Amino acid sequence: MRCEALQVDFSQPPWALAAPVVAGLTAAGHVVVFVGGCVRDHLLGRPITDLDLATDASPDQVEALFERCVTVGKQFGVTVVLVPGGEVEVATFRSDEAYIDGRRPTGVVTATEEVDVERRDFTCNALVLDPVRKQLRDHVGGLADIEAKCLRVVGDPKARLEEDRLRVLRGLRFAAHLGFTIEPATEQALRSVATTGLSRERIWEEWRKGVSDPCRSRWVCLVNELGLGSVLSPLLATADLPSLDHLPADCPSLSALAATLAATEPEALAAWLKTEPISREWRRDLPWLVCHQHPATWDSSLAERRAKLLAPAAASLMPLLVNREDWPQAANLHAEFTHLSAHRPQPYLTGADLIALGVAPGPQLGEILAALWKAQLAGEISDFSTAKEHAVALAGL
């Protein structure tokens, strides 16, 4: 075991969030350590997104110590403790029993810190930071791997990936996100372990995380290089990598997904959407976004352009326009969208107004409303009385 003294001020953010949990467990005589992504990201100087603690206390003991707890997976020994300003996940040291169907362990048994790290996926995710002794403990060679920027499975790569095949997809994501090279035996196992049997939900979650990450183009490359496109989606084979590099770092997931699928034909996209557990809103907006990131779709009249810029998905298109040097009109579209969003036009006349003017309810009324709206967006109508004149003329009154 490698053990190093570490100067971390646990009373400061982000660690301070977990201070009440660390104090409570320690006062009750339990061992409690930080584990997983927060330790890894701290060592890499990356922002820490969430805090995970591991302890020798059982979930029942954790629940008895803290007033506000949510049990998320008692069978896996995980309790979420709600603290002022957020939440902290507390996992009981455990060892996983035999895995069934490459997805989940049949059960878990409580264990020690040394045994707990053995069940973790990659060495960089298996480091332990002890806030009481102010020590970093490494039982699996993770520190050397972090220093060498190397992704390595804890234990026998093939056996560990076969146990839980989601680790294959997690491995690709971590390698891309952290910019790590993949250790040869780990790479061989990533290539060879079949990822059958994973639910579409778990696969889709990896997809979403992969394209949401600023290192998305590296992720797409790795997916294709390691032959995992067939698991995630064959559509990734046609992803346009240079355009992914131009996306802003904080690009929302939906926009990034649309950029990734830019070269996908509408029929292939529709077929793919049927297979994925995607929200209704994304299902509605993706085809529109995939289509409208191509300049040719904007060669239209002023009214049509404005109508498009008022479409529900238009806001998600904007991140795709910011760095488009190859599309001179993109900056204008962006400015026009900003203006329209700030001064969102409303139709001057409603159906009720037309009826009051003497238009009979029916299809003609709808047609007149649409024509009025088009004329308004084209700038031909700019006030109520002109709208009324237009309506009277259109209705032949």
The site for ligand ATP (CB under 6 A) is made up of 36-37, 49-50, 52, 120-121, 125-126, 164, 166-167, 170
Nearer to ligand ATP, 49 or 196 (CB): 49
Nearer to ligand ATP, 161 or 317 (CB): 161
CB of 125 to Mg ion, least distance (A): 9
Report yes or no: 171 and 192 within 8 Å, Cβ to Cβ. Answer: no
Of the listed pieces 34-42, 132-140, 331-339, 368-376, which binds Mg ion according to CB under 5 A?
34-42
Give me the residue whose beta carbon is nearest to Mg ion: 37
Nearer to Mg ion, 18 or 387 (CB): 18
Q: What are phi and psi of 73, to 5 degrees?
A: -160, 75
**Separation between Cα atoms, residue 151 and residue 184, nearest integer Å:** 9
In which element (H, E) is residue 347 found? Answer: none
Q: Does 50 bind Mg ion (CB under 5 A)?
A: yes
Nearer to Mg ion, 131 or 319 (CB): 131
CB of 12 to ligand ATP, least distance (A): 20
Q: Does 37 bind Mg ion (CB under 5 A)?
A: yes
**Separation between Cα atoms, residue 235 and residue 82, nearest integer Å:** 40
Residue 256: how many CB atoms within 10 A of its CB? 23
State the number of binding residues for Mg ion (CB under 5 A).
Answer: 2
Nearer to ligand ATP, 212 or 364 (CB): 212
125 binds, among ligand ATP, Mg ion, none (CB under 5 to 8 A by kind): ligand ATP
Nearer to Mg ion, 88 or 321 (CB): 88
Nearer to Mg ion, 120 or 292 (CB): 120
120 binds, among Mg ion, ligand ATP, none (CB under 5 to 8 A by kind): ligand ATP
Q: Does 118 bind Mg ion (CB under 5 A)?
A: no
* Alpha-carbon separation of residue 90 from 34, 65, 113, 159 (angstroms): 9, 12, 13, 27
DSSP structure string for 254-301: HHHHHHHTTT--HHHHHHHHHHS---HHHHHHHHHHHHHTSGGGG-S-
145 binds, among Mg ion, ligand ATP, none (CB under 5 to 8 A by kind): none
21 binds, among Mg ion, ligand ATP, none (CB under 5 to 8 A by kind): none
**Separation between Cα atoms, residue 317 and residue 309, nearest integer Å:** 9
CB of 331 to ligand ATP, least distance (A): 34
Give me the residue whose beta carbon is nearest to ligand ATP: 37
**Separation between Cα atoms, residue 87 and residue 69, nearest integer Å:** 9
Report yes or no: 9 and 144 within 8 Å, Cβ to Cβ. Answer: no
Residue 235 tokens, joined: 């559509």
Report yes or no: 7 and 134 within 8 Å, Cβ to Cβ. Answer: yes
**Separation between Cα atoms, residue 129 and residue 137, nearest integer Å:** 6
CB of 247 to ligand ATP, least distance (A): 20
- Please give the residue ranges that form the binding site for Mg ion (CB under 5 A): 37, 50
